[in-house]
């Protein structure tokens, strides 16, 4: 409310109107910068530089902040030129102000001008900690982690004590370089800093120890941390999954839920990868429910992990349904579903998806063709495989790498074209690696080519002297040819090298528990009355419709009775029996095995599926086998 003003000369009463105060240049610059009007802001700076002097550093800082947000190097360079000419009230160059200097360095680094950023950094001797950190972060942003770490060390030599930003930057560089020793020294400085250290620094320490394989340090630090957030839990969860401690990862995720920590998309992505590795479909579906119930829109990474989980659990119907409902996809999405189809033996669907991928405008990469070539190899699609191998370079300009050549050699070898496979090895532009020779050795196993197997195995022993799998395969080839002296020689070689054959292991999930079975392991389950009854009834029913054990897979010089006994103790059979006893009659039995399924177990499972009318889904190292009504999805080609 405004009071009336009296005009004395005329005695006329007039009402005054408020005048909007004139905005100062500093406030106007701040306003223009925050609004993103960089051209107008720059014009104000260049047209009236004397009115924008210290202590109005905030105005320049606001302008530079806007330049950084918009990645506008041009405007920042013009300001830099102006600052070179300006002086504040104490006749010091404004460029030495730590706020201005650190923001200029940040602008140059986000715009890719790391050399210009270093020039700004080197201009002047007085450097605040924020300036050092801005330069170190710039190096990290460009992937120059060694330079970032060296700068941190130089900062310490200059007696500049780091803050939380400095600690985090140094620890990130240590993580990327694998410099766990230097990281421990930074950890010691963190301890000295005491209560001033924030959560981000502790999470950076967890990441360092995780990436460097120091899992005991991860657990110890996690237990000692005064506070934990979702990122903290994610670090420990990721460490467990990386180490293959998948069951412990599931327990930790349950603990997160009980303690009310919540989760992020990273949490669910990590747990889904664990579900995929052990075919834990039940747990994977629970994660899917969590995603559906979440308020936020899931990102492509978590949906790709969901698709991958369903694919690796053999549930291609669910996999394709999630794929179809995804709003945004990327090449990884297509590759994941493509690989799911190929390992499930659905090559027709895989080829259709590849054509859809091209039509939708997604450019295939190296992984796309590895999936296609591998699928063609395991499905017996030799001609289609050769076509895809030629197409990748001619139509898409992708140069075949060792993995592509390994798939091609495997494709030819599996189809009996071993001479052609050898020609490919001779003509390939790079030196053959272990994957190439491994594919050839497997072809020799399939077709009983002992002489070539010996030559190929010699190459593998040279390339991978500590891999017991190569010795085992050569031993199997000798045993199949009844060459027991060769088997004995291989056994002695393994003993001399201190190598042991990896035991067959299978696992399956029932409700929230994952059960593990080891070949020739504990006999507690086999000794139960329940097992014996179901086993005997099953064996009688199978023999009535023609099942006879095929003991050719027992590669030892023992009698037939002993061979039959050994075959019956294979881990996938124990898992199947456990599933028959402890799951409902309508439920599929899902098993994962760490090795390739043997011939007799494959035959046995076909008979079991026919006698019990149960669907059995087995994932071995190569592919899925879906047994139903006495047949397998692989069509006995694997």
Q: What is the per-residue pLDDT across 570-594, written as a single tens digit (0 to 9) for each? A: 889 999 999 999 998 888 999 999 9
pLDDT for 552 equals 55
pLDDT for 203 equals 92
Quote the CA–CA distance of 421 and 414 in Å, as a whole number.
Answer: 10
Cβ proximity of 130 and 167 under 8 Å:
no
Quote the CA–CA distance of 188 and 182 in Å, as a whole number.
Answer: 10
pLDDT for 49 equals 61
What pairs with residue 516 in β-bridges?
Answer: 507
Q: Following DSSP, what letter does each residue of 234-249 receive, concatenated?
A: HHHHHHHHHTT-HHHH
What pLDDT band is residue 511 in, cutting at 50, 70 and 90? confident
Cβ proximity of 368 and 335 under 8 Å:
yes
What pLDDT band is residue 23 in, cutting at 50, 70 and 90? low
Cβ proximity of 152 and 169 under 8 Å:
yes
Closest C-alpha to 576, from 586, 588, 587, 589:
589
Token pair of 367 as six digits? 């992984």
Query: Across residues 58-74, what is the average pLDDT?
Result: 87
pLDDT for 11 equals 42
What pLDDT band is residue 569 in, cutting at 50, 70 and 90? confident
Evaluate if residue 126 carries a pLDDT over 70: no
Token pair of 269 as six digits? 């992505």
Triad 355, 409, 471: Cα angle to 5°: 130
**How confident is the model over 194-204, as pLDDT tens digits?**
877 888 999 99
Query: Across residues 261-266, what is the average pLDDT?
Result: 90
Quote the CA–CA distance of 103 and 65 in Å, as a whole number.
Answer: 7
Cβ proximity of 508 and 515 under 8 Å:
yes
Quote the CA–CA distance of 116 and 119 in Å, as a whole number.
Answer: 5
Instruction: Decide: helix, strand or coil at residue 20.
Output: coil
Instruction: Decide: helix, strand or coil at residue 310.
Output: helix
Triad 595, 214, 304: Cα angle to 5°: 55
Closest C-alpha to 413, from 388, 438, 450:
438
Residues 6+ apart with CB under 8 A from 265: 296, 298, 299, 301, 302
Instruction: Decide: helix, strand or coil at residue 14.
Output: strand
Token pair of 267 as six digits? 């949490």
What pairs with residue 626 in β-bridges?
Answer: 617
Evaluate if residue 311 carries a pLDDT over 50: yes
Q: Cα 119 to the chain's mean position, in Å?
A: 38
Evaluate if residue 54 carries a pLDDT over 50: no
Evaluate if residue 296 carries a pLDDT over 90: no
Q: How buried is residue 326: exposed, middle or buried, by Cβ count under 10 Å (0-12/13-18/19+)?
A: middle
**Inter-CA distances, 537 with 96, 469, 519, 541, Å:** 88, 36, 22, 6
Number of CB atoms found within 10 A of residue 516's CB:
14
pLDDT for 354 equals 96
Q: Following DSSP, what letter does each residue of 49-97 receive, concatenated?
A: GGGS-TT-HHHHHHHHHHHHHHT-HHHHHHHHHHHHH-B-TTS-BGGGS
What pLDDT band is residue 90 in, cutting at 50, 70 and 90? very low
Residue of higher predicted confidence among 534 and 15: 534
**Predicted TM-score (pTM) of this structure:** 0.78
Quote the CA–CA distance of 278 and 312 in Å, as a whole number.
Answer: 9
Residue of higher predicted confidence among 135 and 88: 135
pLDDT for 7 equals 37
Instruction: Decide: helix, strand or coil at residue 617.
Output: strand
Evaluate if residue 228 carries a pLDDT over 70: yes
Residue owning tokens 């500049």: 160
Query: Across residues 616-632, what is the average pLDDT?
Result: 91
What pLDDT band is residue 637 in, cutting at 50, 70 and 90? confident
Query: Across residues 497-507, what is the average pLDDT?
Result: 87
Evaluate if residue 332 carries a pLDDT over 90: yes
pLDDT for 8 equals 33
Evaluated on CA atoms 295, 300, 306, 310, the torsion sign reads positive
pLDDT for 50 equals 61
pLDDT for 524 equals 82
Q: Is 242 left (phi over 0), alpha (psi -120 to 50) or beta?
A: alpha
Closest C-alpha to 625, from 594, 591, 574, 584:
591
Query: Across residues 108-129, what is the average pLDDT?
Result: 86
pLDDT for 79 equals 84
pLDDT for 93 equals 67
**How confident is the model over 468-492, as pLDDT tens digits?**
989 989 988 998 888 989 988 998 9
Evaluate if residue 550 carries a pLDDT over 80: no
pLDDT, mean over the chain: 86
Closest C-alpha to 505, from 553, 564, 572:
572
What pLDDT band is residue 521 in, cutting at 50, 70 and 90? low
**How confident is the model over 34-49, as pLDDT tens digits?**
878 888 888 877 776 6
- Cα radius of gyration rounded to whole Å, the chain: 34
What percent of the chain lies above the pLDDT cut of 90? 54
pLDDT for 608 equals 95
């Amino acid at each position: 409310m405004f009071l009336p003003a009296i005009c004395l000369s005329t005695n006329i009463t007039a009402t005054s109107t408020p005048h909007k105060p004139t905005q100062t240049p500093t406030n106007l610059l701040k306003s223009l910068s925050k609004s993103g009007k960089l051209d107008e802001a720059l014009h104000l700076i260049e047209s009236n530089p004397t009115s924008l002097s210290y202590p109005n550093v905030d105005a320049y800082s606001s302008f530079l902040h806007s330049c950084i947000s918009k990645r506008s190097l041009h405007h920042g360079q013009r300001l830099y030129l102006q600052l070179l000419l300006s002086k504040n009230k104490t006749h010091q160059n404004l460029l030495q102000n730590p706020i201005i200097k650190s923001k200029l360095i940040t602008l140059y680094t986000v715009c890719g001008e790391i050399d210009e950023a270093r020039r700004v950094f080197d201009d002047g001797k007085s450097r605040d900690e924020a300036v050092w950190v801005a330069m170190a972060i710039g190096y990290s942003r460009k992937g120059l982690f060694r330079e970032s770490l060296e700068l941190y060390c130089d900062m310490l030599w200059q007696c500049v004590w780091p803050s939380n930003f400095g600690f985090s930057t140094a620890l990130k560089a240590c993580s990327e370089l694998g410099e766990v020793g230097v990281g421990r020294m930074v950890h010691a400085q963190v301890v000295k800093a005491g209560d001033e250290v924030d959560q981000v620094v502790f999470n950076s320490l967890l990441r360092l120890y995780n990436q460097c394989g120091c899992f005991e340090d991860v657990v110890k630090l996690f237990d000692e941390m005064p506070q934990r957030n979702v990122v903290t839990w994610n670090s420990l969860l990721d460490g467990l999954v990386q180490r293959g401690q998948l069951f412990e990862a599931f327990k930790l995720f349950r603990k997160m839920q009980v303690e009310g920590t919540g989760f992020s998309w990273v949490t669910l992505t990590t747990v889904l990868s664990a579900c995929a590795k052990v075919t834990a479909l039940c747990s994977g579906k629970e994660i899917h429910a969590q995603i559906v119930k979440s308020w936020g829109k899931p990102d492509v990474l978590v949906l790709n992990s969901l698709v991958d989980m369903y694919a690796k659990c053999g549930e291609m119907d669910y996999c394709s349904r999630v794929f179809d409902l995804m709003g945004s996809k990327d090449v990884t999405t297509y590759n994941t579903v493509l690989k799911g189809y190929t390992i499930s033996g659905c090559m027709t669907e895989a080829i259709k998806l590849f054509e859809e991928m091209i039509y939708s405008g997604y450019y295939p990469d190296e992984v796309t063709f590895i999936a296609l070539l591998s699928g063609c190899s395991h499905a017996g699609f030799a001609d289609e495989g050769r076509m895809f191998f030629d197409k990748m370079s001619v139509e898409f300009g992708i140069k075949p790498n060792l993995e592509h050549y390994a798939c091609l050699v495997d494709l030819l070898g599996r189809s009996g074209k071993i001479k052609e496979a050898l020609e490919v090895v001779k003509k390939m532009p790079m030196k053959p690696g272990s994957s190439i020779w491994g594919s050839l050795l497997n072809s020799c196993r399939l077709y009983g080519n002992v002489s070539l197997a010996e030559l190929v195995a010699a190459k593998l022993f040279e390339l991978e002297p500590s891999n017991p799998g190569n010795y085992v395969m050569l031993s199997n080839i000798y045993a199949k040819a009844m060459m027991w002296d060769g088997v004995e020689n291989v056994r002695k070689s393994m003993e001399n090298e201190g190598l042991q054959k990896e035991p067959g292991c299978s696992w399956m999930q029932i409700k929230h528990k994952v059960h593990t079975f080891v070949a020739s392991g504990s006999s507690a389950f086999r000794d139960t009355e329940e097992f014996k009854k179901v086993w005997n009834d099953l064996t009688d029913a199978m023999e009535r419709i023609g099942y006879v054990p095929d003991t050719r897979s027992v590669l030892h010089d023992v009698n037939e009775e002993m061979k039959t006994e050994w075959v019956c103790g294979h881990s996938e059979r124990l898992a199947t029996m456990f599933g028959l006893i402890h799951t409902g009659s309508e439920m599929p039995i899902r098993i994962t095995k760490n090795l390739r399924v043997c011939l007799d177990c494959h035959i046995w499972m076909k008979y079991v599926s026919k006698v019990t009318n149960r669907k059995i889904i087995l994932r071995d190292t190569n592919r899925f086998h879906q047994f139903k009504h006495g047949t397998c999805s692989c069509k006995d080609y694997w």
